[in-house]
Amino acid sequence: MVWDEFGLALEELIRSPHRNVINEIFELQEFVEKACSPKRGHTLFIGLTHISFAQYAVNADESIKNRLETIFGRFRDFKIELSAAESEGYHLLGMQRSWTEFGKQHWEQAKERQAQLVSSCAALPLFKSLGQQLAEVSGEIYPLHPIMAAGLFALSALAQANRTALTFFRYNAEKILAESVNEHALFGEELIRLPALVDYYSKTLAEKKAHELERYQRAKGKIPSDLNTEEYESKLAILKLLLLNELLDGGKFHTNETFLSCALYDVPPTSSAAERLHSDLAWLKAAELIWKNDLTQQWTLLGDSGVDVERLIEEKLPNFTKEKDSFEKLLNDPLPLNTNMREDLFPVLGVHDLEPSPCGIVRSYEVKLLTPLIVNTLKLNNPLLSGQVYLVLAKDAEDVAQVKARILETPAANIYFWLPTAGVHSESVSYNKKEFKLGDLLCRYLALKLLLKEKTATDDVRRQLTAKWEKTRKDILQILQVLYGREGLSSGKSQILKAGTAQALACKSWYEFRGVLAEQIQALYPKEIPIRAIKLTINFYKLKPLLKHVI
C-alpha cells in the first residue's frame, strides 16, 4: 500500500477542528501494528512525506506531537534522492513518447548534431546542475530543445500548475507530429525551441502577465510586415525570448548573446552561424525595441519606445560638468548627492585607527584628497593624528612630475602621497565609441542619480537608468582600483611616496600599506609608557572632544 502525499493528509488532520486527531493517530498505529507486523502475509505500507511525522505538528498541542513521534517509531524512514535530471523532471517528459524503428535508425546518425547541441547548452548556467547528464536529457526530451524543456518547467511555476510541462506532449501531439523532419539532419529545424512557448501558452501568459505581453505585442507590431518570412521570424523570435526572460525565472534565463545564440542556433555567439542573431539585435536596437544592460550583458524589451535615455543623461550633465576637472570640489561638495557619491566610491577617506601598539595606545591616521599644485610645506597640523595619507589627484604626467618634486622637498614626516604614475586622466572607458575619463564618469554618476531621484520616469526608463548607473559605478571602481588600489600598485600604475623621499614604498595593497604605516609611526615612540589596563585602550583621536572640554 503506497499513500502518496501522506504528509498532506497529516497536515489536514491536524488543522481540522472537526476531527479527533489523537483517535485517528491511534487508529493508524493500530493498523500498522496489526497489518504490517506479521512475518508472513504482512502488508507493506509506504507513506510518502517530505519531513518527519512530528515536524508536521510543529504548531500543534504537545500531546499530538508526542503521539506522532510514537507512531513514527513504528516506521522505518528512508530517503529517496533523485539525480539532477530527475529532480528537474526531464525524465518525465521522455516517458511520454517513444521511438519507431525508423526513428531509431536516423537517431544513431544524428549523434554529431546532438553533440553540438549539448556543447552549446553546456555553456549556460541553466544546465550547470546536469553536468554529464545533459547528453542523456537531450535525447529524453526530443523533439524539445533543452531550453524549451527548462522553459516548460519554469512556466509551470508561473502558472502554478505543476502538470503544465507534463501535459505538453499530450495536448499538442497533433501539431508536433505534423511537423516536417529532415530525416538526414535530426536535432535541427524540427526542434521545438523556447520562442514557441509564447504561441503554445499565449492564453496563460495573457492571464498571468498581461502588461508584459502587451509590451511584447507593441514591439512585435513595429517589425515591418513586408520583410521576408525568415527575417521577420528571426527578429520575432528574439522578442519572444526577451519576453520570456521577464516572465520566467530571470535568475536562470539570462538573455545575453550566449543564451540567445544557443536558444536559436545551437552555436556559441562567436560562430559564423550566429551572424543573423547579431544583425537582428542591431536592427531591433536601432528600431528602439530592445536595449542592452552593459553591466549584465542582458538584452531586454524596451517598453517606452522613443525615450532616449542617453539624451536624458546629457541634459543633466551641465549641473556637474563645470567641476569635472576639479575632483576634490566634486567629491567634497556638501550637497547630499555628492556626499553620498563620496561615501560610496571613496569609503577610505576620513580618519582610521591603527591596531593598538604593544603598550595599548591606539593611534590614528587620516586619508584626504589632494589636488596639485601642492606646496612643499605640508605637515601634520593635528596633534591627535599620527599620520596623513593623501590621494593625489594629479591629472597627467606633468602634474605627477611637479608633485614628486614637491614631495622630495617636503620635510620628512609621516605624510604619505598615493600617486597615479601617469595621472588620473590615463585611465578611461568607452561608451558608444565615446571616451569617458574619471571626471566624466563622476559627473555621469551624479546625473544618473539625479534622474533616479525624479518621480516622473516610467518603470522601464528607471530600469535603464539603474542599469547605466550600475555600469558607471562599476567602471569608476575599476579605475580607482588602478589609480588608488591593489591593481595599480601591483602593475606599477600607482605608487606611494613618503614626504622627503623619492623612493616608492614596497607595498602592493592597502593592507600592506597599513602595516608599513603602523611600523613607521611606532618607530617614533621607542620608549612609550604602557597604559593598557584590563579591557582598556586609549584612542587619542576619540578623546579630542573631551580634551577640548577639559581645556
pLDDT tens for residues 191-221?
Answer: 999 999 898 888 878 887 888 888 888 889 9
Q: Which residue has the higher pLDDT, 480 or 379?
A: 480
pLDDT tens for residues 470-520?
Answer: 999 999 999 999 999 999 999 999 999 999 999 999 999 999 999 999 999
Q: Extract the C-alpha cell encoding 254.
A: 539570462
pLDDT of 543 reads: 56
Provide the percentage of residues in the chain whose pLDDT is more than 90: 40
pLDDT tens for residues 397-424?
Answer: 999 999 999 999 999 999 999 999 999 9
Q: Extract the C-alpha cell encoding 307.
A: 525615450
* Integer CA distances (angstroms), 14 to 4, 22, 24, 26, 32, in order: 18, 9, 10, 14, 19
Which residues does 132 contact at the CB level (< 8 Å), separation at least 6? none
H or E, element range at 188: none
pLDDT tens for residues 135-186?
Answer: 888 888 888 999 998 888 888 766 555 566 677 877 787 888 777 777 667 8
Q: Exposed/middle/buried for 288, CB within 10 Å: 0-12, 13-18, 19+?
A: middle
| Distance in angstroms (rounded) separating the CA atoms of residues 90 and 107 | 19
Q: Extract the C-alpha cell encoding 73.
A: 517509531
With a cut of 70, say whether residue 325 has pLDDT above it: no
Buried b (16+ CB within 10 A) or exposed e, 341-363: bbeebbeebeeeebeebeeebbb
With a cut of 50, say whether residue 280 has pLDDT above it: yes
Q: In terms of DSSP bridges, do strands 2-3 and 415-420 run parallel, antiparallel, or are they unpaired?
A: unpaired
Q: At 78, phi and psi to the nearest 5?
A: -150, 145
* Integer CA distances (angstroms), 463 to 13, 128, 328, in order: 47, 28, 31
Give me the residue spans of the domains in the chain: 2-72, 110-301, 319-522
Query: Which of 141, 117, 121 shows the shortest CA–CA distance to 131?
Result: 121
pLDDT band at 324 (very low <50, low <70, confident <90, very high): low
pLDDT of 386 reads: 92
Q: Which residue has the higher pLDDT, 381 or 53?
A: 381
Count CB atoms within 10 A of the CB of residue 523. 9
With a cut of 50, say whether residue 551 has pLDDT above it: no
Chain centroid, CA 177 distance in Å: 40
